[in-house]
Structure formats: C-alpha cells, structure tokens
C-alpha cells in the first residue's frame, strides 16, 4: 500500500488548494495605467503628448512607412561579406570557418546565409537583397 501513497497525495493536495482558493477573498480588479507619453518611432525623434480624452494620437505618415528601396540598397551595400578563414570538405560533408565560427550550408550569419561551400570558396546569399556572392578563402 505504501507505493500508492504519492499517487493519493497529489489529488488530496489539489483539492485542498482548490478549497483554500474558494475561501480566499477575491483580489481587487486590475486598473489600466494612464498614459503620460507615447514612445514614438525613431523617425519622429520626439515623445508625443497624450491626446485629450480618448482620441487618436496624430503620427506622421512618413514615420510609419517602410524605407525607400534606395535606402535599403544603400544599407545592404554597406555590409561587407563575412571573412572565410578555413574550409573543410570531406565527401559530402562541408564545413567553413567564417568570422572564426564553424558553419555549414544553410546557416546564417547576420544578413548572409551560406548557400554552398566549395574547396576554395563559399557562396553567400544576402537575405535582404537576394544577391549571391562567392567569397574566396583568405590564405594567410
């Protein structure tokens, strides 16, 4: 009969907790905090005061729009490709040391995803732009 004691103890403790919760007084209802200021998008550069009453907050439309394609291209072009310092190819297994980290095909490093690894170079796909770039092994 002793092996069944833990199995009987769990329902008894559960029912006891349920009974105590039924006897405890209910807590005060939650009150929503009042908004003193809103965190504006970084493009606005300022904190917006709360509107009078429950009205909407006026926000500049330019702050909510995505970046123009020229800005995206400029940001993506600024990123240098990762540095490939070693490559190991054994049969179908391919491993490259990129920026000091061993990585395999399919892994991502920042905005770059490894699409292929050859004996002397690695193919990176820039995920935001879809551009492909072969990066040769850096011989020292």
Separation of alpha carbons 82 and 117, rounded Å: 13
pLDDT tens for the 140 residues of the chain, in order: 577 777 888 889 999 988 888 888 877 887 776 655 556 666 666 655 666 666 666 666 666 666 665 555 554 455 777 889 999 888 888 999 998 889 999 998 888 899 999 989 999 988 777 788 888 887 54
Report CA dihedral (123, 132, 81, 84) to the nearest 10 degrees.
10
Q: What is the pTM of this model?
A: 0.45
| Residue keyed to tokens 């940001």 | 75
Q: For 38-52, what is the HEC assignment?
A: ECCCCCCCCCECCCC
Query: Under a CB-based contact definition with an 8 Å cutoff, are residues 98 and 138 in contact?
Result: no
Full strand arrangement of the beta sheet holding 93-98:
84-90, 93-98, 101-103
Q: Residue 26's pLDDT is what?
A: 77
| Integer CA distances (angstroms), 39 to 6, 16, 42, 51, 131, in order | 53, 46, 9, 13, 35
């Amino acid at each position: 009969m002793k092996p069944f004691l833990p199995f009987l103890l769990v329902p008894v403790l559960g029912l006891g907790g349920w009974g105590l919760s039924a006897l405890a007084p209910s807590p005060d209802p939650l009150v929503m905090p009042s908004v003193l200021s809103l965190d504006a998008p970084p493009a606005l550069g300022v904190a917006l005061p709360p509107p009078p009453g429950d009205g909407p907050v006026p926000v500049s439309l330019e702050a909510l729009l995505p970046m123009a394609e020229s800005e995206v291209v400029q940001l993506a072009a600024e990123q240098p490709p990762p540095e490939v310092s070693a490559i190991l190819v054994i049969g179908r297994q391919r491993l490259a040391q990129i920026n000091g980290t061993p990585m395999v095909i399919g892994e991502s490093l920042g905005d770059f995803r490894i699409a292929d690894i050859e004996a002397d170079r690695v193919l990176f796909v820039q995920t935001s732009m879809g551009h492909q770039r072969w990066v040769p092994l850096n011989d020292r």
